[in-house]
Amino acid sequence: MLSNRLRLQAEELRVIRGGKEVLKGITFAVAIGEVYGLLGGNGAGKSTTLLTFLGFLDLAGGNARVNDALVSEDVVAARRSIAYLPESASLYEHLNARENLRYFLGLAGSAGDDESMEAALDRVALPAEARDRRLADYSKGMRQKVAIALAILRNTDTLLLDEPTSGLDPTAIDEFHDLVRTLADDGKTVLMVTHDVYGACQVADRIGLLRDGRLVGEFSAPAGGRIDTEAVHRAFSSREAV
């Protein structure tokens, strides 16, 4: 019964990359409508964790489930139900923002109409004059905005966001956090990777702390409140498990 309310489940996940065990048995779950922040230093295994839900990596052990189904059994179904924002906004340099959106949405099978596309670009505050320029001329933050717009337009129940605020200016970061809260309030499930403690505490309902391929702690927001930034910061900086 409980599992029916879970979107994403990692069960004793183990992954070996380049001959090195980078996930050493991770277990956590994200419930429907929840914003889960995955926090950790460089190389902790955050991006790797996201990739397992998309079926991009072979598992050395454990299970990854999306909507209760094993990812390995139907990778395409898992990918269809997830909007994924990669670590570095990976879109076509030779296309402009609109062309990129139209193309990737076409691949997703959700041909977005022009209006919703403009609305999404408005939401991420991409300047209108930039929308017809090729991405080759964009700043990192502008590309990130297009990628976020794509993730929203996918209109999936689940979003996996890998360092979504990198490259964004402080105003844009605040706007983005508001956006994530709005999505969650609409019932979307968000799994968000970051190494920004403050940002994570601002938006997440729960935070998992990842260190060297292990989940070393979890923090939950009290009812109606936010997670205590201080506590998370302390845990993040310490060498000990929480």
Ligand X SMILES: Nc1ncnc2c1ncn2[C@@H]1O[C@H](COP(=O)(O)OP(=O)(O)O)[C@@H](O)[C@H]1O
Binding site for Mg ion (CB under 5 A): 47, 87
Kindly state the smallest distance separating residue 75's Cβ from other proteins, in Å: 8
| Sign of the dihedral defined by the CA atoms of residues 133, 136, 139, 142, in that order | positive
Instruction: Verify binding: residue 45, ligand X, rule CB under 6 A.
Output: yes
Please state the closest distance from residue 43 (CB atom) to Mg ion, in A.
Answer: 8
Chain-centroid distance of CA 230 in Å reads 23
- DSSP structural state of residue 165: T
- Give alpha helix (H) positions in the chain: 46-53, 75-80, 97-108, 114-123, 140-153, 170-185, 197-203, 229-237
The residue ranges that bind other proteins (CB under 8 A) are 51, 54, 56, 75-77, 79-80, 82, 84, 86, 88, 90-95, 103-109, 154
- Does the protein bind ligand X through residue 164 (CB under 6 A)? no
Asked if 90 touches ligand X (CB under 6 A), the answer is: no
Question: How do the residues of the chain divide into helix, strand and coil, expressed in percent and rounded to 5?
Answer: 40, 30, 35
From other proteins, ligand X, Mg ion, none, interface partner of 17 (C-beta below 5 to 8 A by class): ligand X
Tokens coding 59? 């598992």
Asked if 48 interacts with ligand X (CB under 6 A), we say yes
**CB under 8 Å to 170, separation ≥6 — which residues?**
none
Q: Tell me the window of 37-45, 170-178, 179-187, 197-205 that interacts with ligand X (CB under 6 A).
A: 37-45
Query: Among residues 1, 2, 18, 186, which is the contact residue for ligand X, using CB under 6 A?
Result: 18
Select 56 or 198, whichever has its Cβ closest to ligand X: 56
